[in-house]
Amino acid sequence: MQKALPFLVFVIVLATSRILGTMMPDSLVNFQPFGALVFCGMAVFGWRGIILPAFAWLISYGPTNAAQGYDWTAQMLVPVLGFAAMVALARLFKNSGTGKLFLGSLAGALAFYLITNTLSWAGDPLYATKSFATWFQALTVGLPQFAIPTWVFFRNALLAQGLFTGLFLLATRTAPLAWKGRPLPAVS
């Protein structure tokens, strides 16, 4: 049980942050650590580095959608594709210096936003005509019945990506951690 305790605490903290964010939608909506942890986990530790954030996201996604009043639909796969793109992008930044990892993580947030909003626009019948104008609407203000414009989601995701990436990199570059028996590379 002692070996599993850090894992359980990490998963609970991540899942709780997602659920609490849903319960307070007007304050920092979409300000969550998952994107940064998925990107940095892959870029720094490889496939093993995305297990914990992916698991925490998966166990919190269903309750979060239920709390927001969404049914189980194929649309729920959209963020999975966004995270898959972040993982693919993170692989390009493996063994990069801190500055490149930070910028790559911000690029990952942009890729996630473009992919998820584009897929939502393509699959949502409320965007009756599929044109550049309605795609741009999906990326900026979204549908009129929603109080929070989509650009706010992107702004908060980008802020969270920057903050949590910075914290992740600071922790992994300065703490006396070891991976496979070797210390992590120094800041370059």
H/E segment holding residue 178: strand 178-179
H/E segment holding residue 182: strand 182-183
Provide the pLDDT for residue 188.
47
- Segments in 43-177 forming alpha helices (H): 51-67, 78-92, 98-123, 132-140, 150-174
Higher pLDDT, 73 or 184: 73
Show the tokens assigned to 158.
Answer: 């980008």
Higher pLDDT, 2 or 118: 118
Q: By the 8 A CB rule, do 35 and 18 touch?
A: no
Tokens 């605490």 belong to: 9
**Residue 72 to residues 65, 77, 106, 141, Cα–Cα distance (Å):** 8, 10, 30, 25
Q: Delimit the domains of the chain by residue range.
A: 5-183
Tokens 């496979």 belong to: 180
Q: How far apart are CA 83 and CA 87, in angstroms?
A: 6
Query: What values do phi and psi take at 31, rounded to 5?
Result: -95, 90
- Average confidence (pLDDT) over 168-182: 61
Q: By the 8 A CB rule, do 169 and 101 touch?
A: yes
pLDDT in tens, 109-139: 999 999 999 999 999 889 989 999 999 999 9
Provide the pLDDT for residue 179.
46
Provide the pLDDT for residue 24.
65
Is the pLDDT score of 59 beyond 70? yes
pLDDT in tens, 35-58: 988 998 899 888 988 888 888 788
State the pTM of this model.
0.79
Provide the pLDDT for residue 31.
78
Is the pLDDT score of 4 beyond 70? no
